[in-house]
Structure 1
Amino acid sequence: MRKLLLFLITLILLYNCNTNVVTDPELEGFVRILTGKFSSKKQAKEESGYAAVCLINTPIWKHQSGYWFYQELFSEEKSTAIYNQRIINIKRVDSITLSSTSYIIPNQKKYINGWKNPSLFDQLTTDSLTVREGCDVYFKKKTSTIYQGKTSKNSCSSSFSKKILYTTSNIVISSKKISSWDRGYDKEGKQVWGKIQGPYNFIRVTENQ
Structure 2
Amino acid sequence: MKKFVSIVFIIALISCKSSISNSEKITGNLNELVSIMQGQYSSEAQSKRDTSYFNISLRMIPIWKKRGHYLYVEQAMFTKQEKPYRVRIYKISQRGDEFVSEIYTLKNEKEWIGKWKTPNAFDVLTENDIELKEGCEVVLKRVSKNRFSGQTGIKTCPSELRNASYATSKVTITENEILSWDQGFDQNDQQVWGAEKGGYEFVKY
8 Å CA contact retained: 2:161, 2:184: no
Paired residue for 1:111?
A: 112
Paired residue for 1:141?
A: 142
Paired residue for 1:3?
A: none
Aligned amino acid, residue 46 of structure 2: Q
Cα offset for 1:54?
A: 1.0
* Residue 49 (structure 2) pairs with residue 46 (structure 1): yes
Distance 1:184 1:126 in 2: 28
Q: Kindly indicate which of the two structures has a greater share of residues assigned to helix.
A: 2
Aligned amino acid, residue 186 of structure 2: D
Paired residue for 2:15?
A: none
Percent identity of the aligned residues? 33
- The total of aligned residue pairs comes to 182
Distance 1:58 1:84 in 2: 14
Aligned amino acid, residue 102 of structure 1: I
Paired residue for 2:6?
A: none
Paired residue for 2:80?
A: 78
> Secondary structure of the residue that 1:172 maps to in structure 2?
strand
Per-residue deviation, residues 1-55 of structure 1 (Å, max 9, x unmatched): xxxxxxxxxxxxxxxxxx9xx7511100011000111110111111111111111
Paired residue for 1:58?
A: 61
RMSD: 1.4
Paired residue for 1:121?
A: 122
Per-residue deviation, residues 120-151 of structure 1 (Å, max 9, x unmatched): 21121112211000001000112222111100
Distance 2:78 2:185 in 1: 28
Paired residue for 1:201?
A: 201
* Residue 124 (structure 2) pairs with residue 101 (structure 1): no
> Secondary structure of the residue that 2:47 maps to in structure 1?
helix
Aligned amino acid, residue 138 of structure 1: V
Cα offset for 1:200?
A: 0.5
> Secondary structure of the residue that 1:62 maps to in structure 2?
coil
8 Å CA contact retained: 2:87, 2:106: yes
Cα offset for 1:158?
A: 0.7
Paired residue for 1:28?
A: 31
> Secondary structure of the residue that 2:184 maps to in structure 1?
strand
> Secondary structure of the residue that 2:123 maps to in structure 1?
helix
Distance 1:51 1:195 in 2: 10
Paired residue for 2:180?
A: 180
Per-residue deviation, residues 41-85 of structure 1 (Å, max 9, x unmatched): 111111111111111110001122x20110111222232031210
8 Å CA contact retained: 2:41, 2:203: yes
TM-score, L = length of structure 2: 0.85
Distance 2:55 2:144 in 1: 28
TM-score, L = length of structure 1: 0.83
After TM superposition, where is structure 1 displaced by more than 3 Å over at least 4 residues in a row?
Answer: none
Distance 1:189 1:79 in 2: 32
Paired residue for 1:13?
A: none
> Secondary structure of the residue that 2:88 maps to in structure 1?
strand
> Secondary structure of the residue that 2:103 maps to in structure 1?
strand
> Secondary structure of the residue that 1:33 maps to in structure 2?
helix
